[in-house]
Structure 1
């Protein structure tokens, strides 16, 4: 593995700060493959993801929380829950900047997003919490450091392309909604996916990546159709696999990633074409991903039926699922102060841990206790965050107990 010289001080410091964990030299036993409904490692053991989202795709384009805690401290909190994966989000704009010759430094990134005064203040907090960083450490080197710490603590890294323009997601009018939208340059998106796939070859913990988070109609009602989905997603997946054949590739669906049934069931996408896994040389790398935020649901059977109809029949052995592949719930979540006892939260837990053939994977939204900036508000609190505002402890012990129990029931 080649490690950039500029990163050696960072990795060395992180290794000293991290807990020493027993590990097999072969961990993570990658690359992973998809075999029917299951993800398998190189030893043909079934791997089930149970983890959390760590956002890094908003305005600053640096993973959140580093002004309050160190990389190793945040990762240790995730590990304390027993989790085995992080969904690490990034923006294509980060890669665009690199291609333009500027992988922004921490100093430049914070000042550009937060202004001179607050940007400098937060930068200094980040450097205090993470003394191995300097103001010249680049945004991508922060991602590298997180990936290195994930390897140290035996946590898989799933890379998620959340947006093109770095900002809070998601809405119909944010310019990131659909292929060709205001900020959604398709050529740059494909280039960015391939770049991150290739770059992450140096991360031992890197096992999978997504194509795009929550595709949806634009503000003028265009997009969100299977023909355009097929014409763009398949070439993008081809590009990832050509750049790096190792990672699993997660295909998201329509309508904020709540619909994949047409693809899973091999139905006509609208022009006489059907999607078939058998058409792809890398079919053993394809995984389906779905999101669910049915927080107001009051009937568990309704939630289960909805998930089944959206694509989870691929995990249940249903005859209607022509394209059987693993399905991972890469986003679900709730207000940590009130939501863990809801029908929704309890039903998601019950459904995924009792699927026929074994539990299904998931990644909860979200670890963040706060954001550098969200929709213009700096140091914005996140009540859905597992951690409190300064990322020092759990926001709500009852809610964190729910998540820990969910992990235990998933990784049986």
Structure 2
């Protein structure tokens, strides 16, 4: 009978925690600002099922490693990752979006022609643990994948991307297959077994690492799979997670992946939803193989880690100060490379969106770092909700040429191949 009061206490605590986080998670909005579409030009289109070369040379030649602030290729040439995120395998249907309407080779070719040289491909631990068979209607334009399980489909998409000369970075995005990242503590870290029966998918650190090995082992011979983004947006209640704790877990996982392929880069995101890498100064990631660590930060309009205002309201001086404190010092002091693995904004920007985006593009242009735009997808899986950050139309054929692509050109995105799509 003594168990009942304890369970009630746990339940009450959980409700309070999730309620608080749900309140805190609501993004800062600017609903009173009129939308303003900038620099909109005609879409570019690639014909479906068109004849496309399956083999494209990569921009750089792996294996990749690090040298001070830079990622470098096998010849020591500086590598700038111009990445785009392609999500879906981390979400409720366990499959990269768009395979119902376009062949994966067409999507790969389109990404290549948009000027990106790499793709960050999120997955969920649930996908690896359960390996569900993908519903046939979600693979309608890829009939050869019908009947395969989610991990097999994920690997097939990677094979397509790399055959088009694109580097691929698998990303452990979330534990339970759903949209990331909300207030659910079950998905906040790489393990959640300490939460007990609360979580639908329970996972220890050991299981997390085993999941990674299941994802990466079949990719060991694919030289364009260049590394692993170990965990998306690690966070904890009220900032209670210490950098040293996450750093040690990242090291343990990295060592086992490097046993599979010592050429891979190990990408480690900051704390507080990938905002904060300040702990690296005193406690860097240290591996048995040198020059394999890349750090990663995410920067969005509603972020504002360590600042009074979110970045949507910050002055450029405030924004630059936050970037330097949180992660850019690693680049400025030639300590390590940083990949801004997620950032993005709406095709119908508010005043706050424009403020954030203008500051970010200016800052990244001056710093000259690798980036990953979020995201190519035109729709979110749940309820087929429109993805305002997306770059293509619902058929995954037409590229939206607006201010975002124009500004990404300033960061080194080479969109010249889009002329082939007219």
Q: Same fold (TM over 0.5)?
A: yes
Contact kept? 1:92, 1:163, Cα under 8 Å: yes
Structure 2 distance, partners of 1:297, 1:76, is: 38
Moved more, 179-188 or 359-368: 179-188
Kindly state the Cα deviation for residue 44 of structure 1 after the two structures are TM-superposed: 1.2
Q: 1:296 aligns with which of 305, 309, 312?
A: 312
Distance 2:279 2:57 in 1: 42
Matches within 5 A, 1:353-392: 353-355=365-367, 359-373=368-382, 378-392=383-397
What stretches of structure 2 of length at least 5 have no aligned partner? 1-47, 302-310, 417-422
152, 160, 164: which one pairs with 2:163? 152
More deviation, 194-203/40-49: 194-203
Q: Which of 216, 219, 231 is matched with 2:235 structurally?
A: 216
The 5 A counterparts of 1:17-166 are: 17-19=51-53, 23=57, 29-55=61-87, 56-97=89-130, 103-107=131-135, 123-124=136-137, 126-127=139-140, 129-134=141-146, 136-166=147-177
Query: Match for 1:251 among 250, 256, 268?
Result: 268
Supply the distance in 1 between the matched residues of 2:415 and 2:109 (Cα, whole angstroms). 20
Structure 2: distance between partners of 1:93 and 1:125: 18
| Number of equivalent positions | 350
Q: Report how far residue 368 of structure 1 moved.
A: 0.8
User: CA separation in 1, counterparts of 2:120 and 2:93?
Assistant: 18
Structure 2 SS opposite 1:213 = coil
Task: Give me the CA root mean square deviation.
Answer: 2.7
Please name the residue that 2:32 is paired with: none
State yes or no: 1:230 paired with 2:239.
Answer: no
Q: Taking structure 1 as the reference length, what is the TM-score of the superposition?
A: 0.78
Where 2:266 maps in the other structure, the secondary structure is strand
Shift of 1:338: 1.8
Distance (Å, rounded) in 2 between the aligned partners of 1:353 and 1:345: 12
Matches within 5 A, 1:253-272: 253-263=270-280, 265-266=281-282
Unaligned runs of 5+ in 1: 1-13, 98-102, 108-122, 267-274, 319-323
Q: How far does residue 132 in structure 1 lie from its aligned partner after superposition?
A: 3.0
Pairwise CA distance, 1:259? 0.5
User: CA shift at 1:284, angstroms?
Assistant: 0.8
Change (3 A) 1:262 1:329: same
Q: Which residue of 1 aligns with 2:4?
A: none
What are the Cα deviations for residues 158-198 of structure 1, in whole angstroms up to 9, with x where unaligned?
11100111111112325111332534432211111222222
- CA deviation vs aligned residue, 1:245-266 (integer Å, no higher than 9, x gap): 1210011121101001111x11
Partner residue of 1:115?
none
CA separation in 2, counterparts of 1:139 and 1:203? 19
Aligned-pair CA distance for 1:223: 4.2
Question: TM-score under structure 2 normalisation?
Answer: 0.76
Q: Which has the higher contact order (CA 8 A, sep 6+)?
A: 2
**Paired residues of 1:17 and 1:72 also in contact (CA < 8 A):** no
How far apart, in 1, do the equivalents of 2:105 and 2:240 lie? Answer: 41
**d(CA) in 2 for partners of 1:224 and 1:172?**
15
4+ runs deviating over 6 angstroms:
none
Is residue 230 of structure 2 the alignment partner of residue 202 of structure 1?
A: no
Q: Indicate conservation of the 8 Å contact 1:297/1:303, yes or no.
A: no
Q: Is the 1:312–1:327 Cα contact (8 Å) retained in structure 2?
A: yes
Tell me the SS of whatever aligns to 1:106: coil
